[in-house]
Amino acid sequence: MKKVRLDIVGLSYSQTQSGAYALVLGESSGSRRLPIIIGGFEAQAIAIELEKMSPSRPLTHDLFKTFALTFHINVTEVLIYNLVEGIFYAKLICHDGTRDVEIDARTSDAIALAVRFGCDIYTYEFILKNAGIVLDDESEAAKAVADITKAANQEPATETSGASELTELKSKSSEELKNMLQTALDEEKYETASKIRDELNQRKKS
């Protein structure tokens, strides 16, 4: 089957769904996007590596990388190989110097490891055909992911603390946010760090 190379296009916190994050992958040589709903821990693990943040202690995915490299095992490719009832299935292609071994993994964990090992992410054409969307505006992609989350009957947010926290972040200066980000990392409050990072990135775009 034909494989299609994917890049990470966007990662953002869902404003409408509690604990949900929108990970949007895009084909490297096309305009189709593959939206995936992932959990908070995995989203933070991906964001921290993409932004080159430095946690005070290794996260689980950092530990996996260190363990693998210590025994001369490298992750050379991540393949999202199936889609069943809205659930994506992925595997790690690993090489120990003499042979390739495939290891089953959750898609979110596989991508968190892909960004750490710097390896390519692939999927099959039939998955993009069935689950891919074509959007010119990435903000529309995030909205589409939120709609997909809703359709999957995930629990809607019932607390207002998230909205008030976002309002507080918007009232801070960029310098204050950078200091808050470092403090959050030092205290291992990675969800807070992720929200601060999103606000800083939004300011860079505007």
* Rg of the chain (C-alpha set): 18
Q: At 17, which CATH number?
A: 3.10.690.10
Query: Do 81 and 181 fall within a single domain?
Result: no
Query: Do 26 and 120 fall within a single domain?
Result: yes
Query: Do 85 and 181 fall within a single domain?
Result: no
Query: Do 176 and 78 fall within a single domain?
Result: no
Tens of pLDDT, residues 25-49: 999 988 899 988 888 888 888 988 9
* Banded pLDDT at 14 (limits 50, 70, 90): low
CA pair distance 184, 193, nearest whole angstrom: 5
Q: Give the domain range for residue 65.
A: 3-157
> Which residues make beta-bridge pairs with 78?
92, 121
Q: Is 170 exposed, middle or buried (0-12, 13-18, 19+ CB in 10 A)?
A: exposed
What pLDDT does 109 receive?
A: 96
What is the pTM assigned to this prediction? 0.69
- Give the best-scoring range by mean pLDDT among 12-21, 54-63, 89-98, 183-192: 89-98
Asked if the model's pLDDT at residue 106 lies above 70, the reply is yes
Q: Is 87 exposed, middle or buried (0-12, 13-18, 19+ CB in 10 A)?
A: exposed
What pLDDT does 2 receive?
A: 86
Say how many domains are in the chain.
2
Query: Do 69 and 24 fall within a single domain?
Result: yes
28 near 7, Cβ under 8 Å? yes
Query: Do 123 and 182 fall within a single domain?
Result: no
* Residue finishing a domain among 157, 175, 198: 157
CA pair distance 43, 194, nearest whole angstrom: 8
Average pLDDT of the chain, as a whole number = 81
Query: Do 127 and 176 fall within a single domain?
Result: no
Question: How is the beta sheet containing 100-106 ordered, strand by strand?
Answer: 100-106, 87-95, 74-84, 120-124, 3-13, 21-27, 32-38, 133-134
48 near 54, Cβ under 8 Å? no
Query: Do 102 and 16 fall within a single domain?
Result: yes
* Banded pLDDT at 156 (limits 50, 70, 90): very low
Query: Do 120 and 62 fall within a single domain?
Result: yes
**Which of 16-20, 60-64, 176-180 shows the lowest mean pLDDT across its residues?**
16-20
Query: Do 55 and 31 fall within a single domain?
Result: yes
Share of the chain above pLDDT 70, in %: 78
> Which run of H or E residues covers position 70?
helix 60-70
CA pair distance 69, 90, nearest whole angstrom: 21
CA pair distance 87, 104, nearest whole angstrom: 14
Query: Do 37 and 137 fall within a single domain?
Result: yes
Query: Do 200 and 146 fall within a single domain?
Result: no
